[in-house]
Structures are given as structure tokens and as C-alpha cells.
Amino acid sequence: MYHHIAEPPRAVKVRGLYVTPKQFEWQIQCLKEAGFEFTNFRKLTNQNGEQFSTSSSKRQIILTFDDGYLDNYENAFPILRHYGITAVIYPVVGAIGKKKVIWKENDEQYPVDLMTKNAIQEMHQAGVEFGSHLYDHMHLEQQTQASIQNQLCRSKEILENILGEDVLSVAYPFGSYSSTVLQATAEAGYQYGLTTVSGINTAQQPHLELKRTAIKGNRLHHRWTFMKQLQHELLA
């Protein structure tokens, strides 16, 4: 689970959301060397029909990017293309093409550039998959049932219009979900739901409660930190 791929602006206090392009490229090289096969939800679904369990003997990994920052297009996309690997990006659908404060609960109100519809279409054509991060960046768990349904369905529909293809997955903002959310997610037609619970996914993991490993920006010892995560979390 990545967020920004960029040098953190000076004013930003929450630096953990920023992985620099150089660090990101180095991490890709590490994952390749460790033998991971990069995939996405569409490939997995096509490979196995409705089954999430994979026939591949290789360890598979899905790179995900939350919020839909413009820097993903500017900085991460060229690296993904260079290495010929796919990823899944989760834009806040109501914020596409805008400059907006996404992380409202922080004391800093820092507006950031979000990717445009054109950027989404260009990346999609190049093999990047997109999923929903809702219409608004909100805690779903705290919403009424009507609002939960609206957020899940409206964002899916808009994104599908942009892509010309069905949207398979949703990343719950702040990892916020409940049994009501899970039911609404299934009813809205999503096949996969992404939490912020840390860990790898086995075939037994419920598809609407997939775990992720947060890769956080870290200026000092970033290589050591990533290697430790690779060994203890991703290769566990």
C-alpha cells in the first residue's frame, strides 16, 4: 500500500505518506530480485475465474496506490512502465482532476493535486488497473446505510464510465469497514475489498477483507526498513 510517490514538500508533516521515486524504484528492484510476480485483480480473476487462489507457483504481489495523487502518474507510472509491471490505483472519485485536501483529520490542511481523467485513461491503456476509493475520502463505518451504498455505487459507476470497463475492487479509506459495509460492497458488485490490516493473503482470506502491507516513506534507513518488511512481512 503506497500513497504519494514524490519528494515530500517541506510544509508536510505527515512524511510517511511520501515514498520518493528513487526509493520506489529501488523497492521494485528488490521485489523483482526476491522473485515476486506483479499482478492485479483483473489478471487474477481472468486466470482463475471466480477463484482468488492462484495456480501460479510464484509468489504474487499487487502494488496498490491510494487516493489517486497526480504524482503517481508523474513519478510512479514511468517506473512501472520501465519495468513492465502493473499496479492498481484507487482514486478518490469525487476528487479526480482537482486540487484538494484529502487527509482532513490531520491538523495540517494541505491541498494536493489529484490525477486527471486523461491521466487515468492513459495509465489504464498501458495496463494499470483502477479501483474505487469511494466518492469522498471518508470513514465508511460511521455512515448511514444509504450513504454507504451511495459512496460505493456512485464511485464505481463514474470510474467505469471513465475506463469503459467494470471496476472489480474498492480500497476502504482509513481501512474503515463493518459487516454492514461488507454486505453493501458485495451488493454493489465489488469482488475485492482492501483493508489496511497488515499481512499477506492466503487463499482462505475473505475477498472483501484483503490485507495489505503499508510502505511508508522514511528518509533515514529506508533500505534497511524495506528489507526488514520484505523479509518479515512479505516473505513470511
Position of minimal CB gap to Zn ion: 66
| Least distance CB 63 / Zn ion (angstroms) | 15
| Binding flag, residue 25, Zn ion (CB under 5 A) | no
Total residues interacting with Zn ion, rule: CB under 5 A: 3
Which of 68, 91, 131, 173 lies at the binding interface for Zn ion (CB under 5 A)?
173
| Binding flag, residue 129, Zn ion (CB under 5 A) | no
| CB nearer Zn ion, residue 39 or residue 64 | 64
| Binding flag, residue 66, Zn ion (CB under 5 A) | yes
Of 12-20, 58-66, 119-127, 142-150, the window that binds Zn ion (rule: CB under 5 A) is: 58-66
Alpha helices in 34-144 (DSSP H): 41-48, 70-71, 77-83, 117-125
Nearest to 112 by CA among 147, 86, 139, 137: 137
| Least distance CB 90 / Zn ion (angstroms) | 7
Integer Cα distance of 106 and 150 in angstroms:
25
Alpha helices in 55-178 (DSSP H): 70-71, 77-83, 117-125, 145-163
What would the grid cell of residue 11 be?
A: 510544509
Query: Would the CA dihedral through 127, 128, 129, 134 be positive or negative?
Result: negative
- Separation in Å, CA 115 to CA 10, 90, 127, 181, 196: 21, 11, 16, 27, 22
| CB nearer Zn ion, residue 66 or residue 136 | 66
Which of 19, 63, 67, 138 lies at the binding interface for Zn ion (CB under 5 A)?
67
| Least distance CB 170 / Zn ion (angstroms) | 11
| Least distance CB 150 / Zn ion (angstroms) | 18
**90 by DSSP, 3-state: which?**
strand
Q: Which residues bind Zn ion (CB under 5 A)?
A: 66-67, 173
